[in-house]
Structure 1
Amino acid sequence: MSISKFIVQQAISLIKPGMTVGFGGGSTVGLLVKESANLVNQIQVLTPSPTTRQLATVLGYTVIDPQYCDRIDIAFDGCDQLDHRHSALKSGGGIHTNEKIIATLADEYWLLAPKNRLVTQFSTDIPLVLEVLPKALALVMHRVAALGGQPTVRTASNRDGLTLTDNGNLLIDCHFPSYNQLSNINQQLSALAGVVETSFFDHLITNAILGDPDTNTINYLY
């Protein structure tokens, strides 16, 4: 059995009939959605991921929109890295704004990830990603550079042009030489006019289920 299936088995035990459940993106969460199909008529689902929404709809889940929900019992998601202070970096999918809405609505926000993604110091190979209003592009690029970062506007891989989020905004990938002051940098950029959200989930993680593929064992972060 793959380590993802071990992680999913642990996560399924946390889902109870009558719950409102958030499912994020990624392959492990997708597997959790599939494996939870025996609860398809007993829970309602929210998701920030178009891929997960399509899968949940096909499987018969009741999928509701976050704008009509003021509380989620439990939510599951992935990450690029997380630390022992219950913070995480999430950059790849570009849906971090909608993921943060789910995380903030949830009583419990669980990350599902390989054990090696739990770190003592975030890797600067992973950018801090900003979702930005188009009119604020120059302002944000200038401020990131002033803070010592190297900002790059994300371009679309399947067409000529810039990547637009589901909210119609731009994504700026910001590489910094050090993340020693990540929380402070994140606060400054979050407060900047035109920045919708950042991909740093500062103390938003409730728990994590971490799988070790070398030993096929599960660890928890509480």
Structure 2
Amino acid sequence: MKRPGGTEEQKRRAGESAARAVSDGDVVGLGTGSTAAVAIRALGRRVDSGLDVRGVPTSYQSRALARDAGIPLTTLDDALPDVAIDGADQIAGLERDGPADVIKGGGAAHAREKIVDAAADRFVVVADPTKLADDLDAPVPIEVLSDAVSVVESALVALGGEPTLRAAERKDGPVVTENGNLVVDCGFGAIGDPASLADGIAALPGVVEHGLFVGMVDEVHVGVADGVEVYPRES
């Protein structure tokens, strides 16, 4: 099902479509990543035109972008989101009954993203066609306590995975999350039972959070060449 594409125009269409789904008075979870950033900017333009919303950011990046866009911010302590808009690294299951499953965590913000997205009444994923797949098979990002990396990696191998500690691109050493933890990217090949794997990873001591978002997604907005495809499709 994966399609070629991934243009800026497709991301713009997806992000703007999701931003139009926000209603006056909503508290909005603000995701992280390039397509979520488009949605935040679009939401900021609606705020500038009079829309009354408050945002709950999922990362430093989304917080800074929301401030630049003029979106008032709040916290989960003060208000739970009515809707969360977030991107994904890979999406599977759009054409089957039930919610799509996604992998997130390319930006190492998946722990905070999962908290905000799960707290929302409605979780909307924005994506371009390159994120679509028949089955999840991308490496799963896993946030791990620094002292537990070797133990967790051994346990992931026992689960059938191939773990790799994520290295930073502009400094020596590993990526450090905003929570002060490290990220292990673990390949499992095609994931036939995402829910079972999610439970297995979550049960490992030392794991803070993983990037499998299973059974959480309410809508997916995919920007395509001639518009936006929204899932689940209306019958």
Give me the TM-score of the superposition, normalised by structure 2: 0.85
Does the 8 Å CA contact 1:97/1:197 hold for their aligned counterparts? Answer: yes
Q: Is 2:141 the counterpart of 1:129?
A: yes
Output the aligned Cα RMSD: 1.8
Does the 8 Å CA contact 1:17/1:39 hold for their aligned counterparts? Answer: no
Does the 8 Å CA contact 2:12/2:223 hold for their aligned counterparts? Answer: no
**For residue 22 of structure 1, what is the amino acid of its counterpart?**
G
**For residue 230 of structure 2, what is the amino acid of its counterpart?**
Y
Matches within 5 A, 1:181-192: 181-192=193-204
Correspondence for 2:82 among 68, 73, 91: 73
Does the 8 Å CA contact 2:144/2:182 hold for their aligned counterparts? Answer: yes
Correspondence for 1:59 among 57, 60, 69: 69
Report the CA distance between 1:29 and its aligned residue: 2.0
Determine what percentage of the aligned residue pairs are the same residue.
Answer: 29
Counterpart residue number, 2:11: 4
**For residue 63 of structure 1, what is the amino acid of its counterpart?**
L
Q: 1:43 to 1:177 in 2, by over 3 A?
A: closer
Does the 8 Å CA contact 1:23/1:29 hold for their aligned counterparts? Answer: yes
**For residue 186 of structure 2, what is the amino acid of its counterpart?**
C
Q: In 1, distance between residues paired with 2:101 and 2:80?
A: 21
Does the 8 Å CA contact 1:70/1:105 hold for their aligned counterparts? Answer: no
Q: In 1, distance between residues paired with 2:162 and 2:87?
A: 25
Correspondence for 2:164 among 127, 152, 159: 152
Q: In 2, distance between residues paired with 1:54 and 1:219?
A: 29
**For residue 56 of structure 1, what is the amino acid of its counterpart?**
A
Report the CA distance between 1:51 and its aligned residue: 1.5
Counterpart residue number, 2:96: none
1:63 aligned counterpart, secondary structure:
coil
Give me the TM-score of the superposition, normalised by structure 1: 0.90
Q: In 2, distance between residues paired with 1:177 and 1:8?
A: 29
Q: Is 2:21 the counterpart of 1:14?
A: yes
Q: 1:211 to 1:105 in 2, by over 3 A?
A: same
Correspondence for 1:25 among 11, 19, 32: 32
Matches within 5 A, 1:34-183: 34-36=41-43, 37-39=45-47, 42-66=52-76, 68-69=77-78, 71-84=80-93, 85-123=99-137, 126-183=138-195
1:54 aligned counterpart, secondary structure:
helix
2:58 aligned counterpart, secondary structure:
coil
Deviations 1:3-29 (A, max 9, x none): 233223322321122110111012222
1:2 aligned counterpart, secondary structure:
helix
Q: In 2, distance between residues paired with 1:203 and 1:167?
A: 25
Q: In 1, distance between residues paired with 2:198 and 2:145?
A: 17
- Name structure 1 gaps, 5 residues minimum: none
Q: Which deviates more from structure 2 when the two are superposed, residues 109-118 or residues 36-45?
A: 36-45
Report the CA distance between 1:150 and its aligned residue: 1.1
Q: In 2, distance between residues paired with 1:13 and 1:212?
A: 17
Q: In 2, distance between residues paired with 1:114 and 1:133?
A: 32
- Name structure 2 gaps, 5 residues minimum: 1-7, 94-98
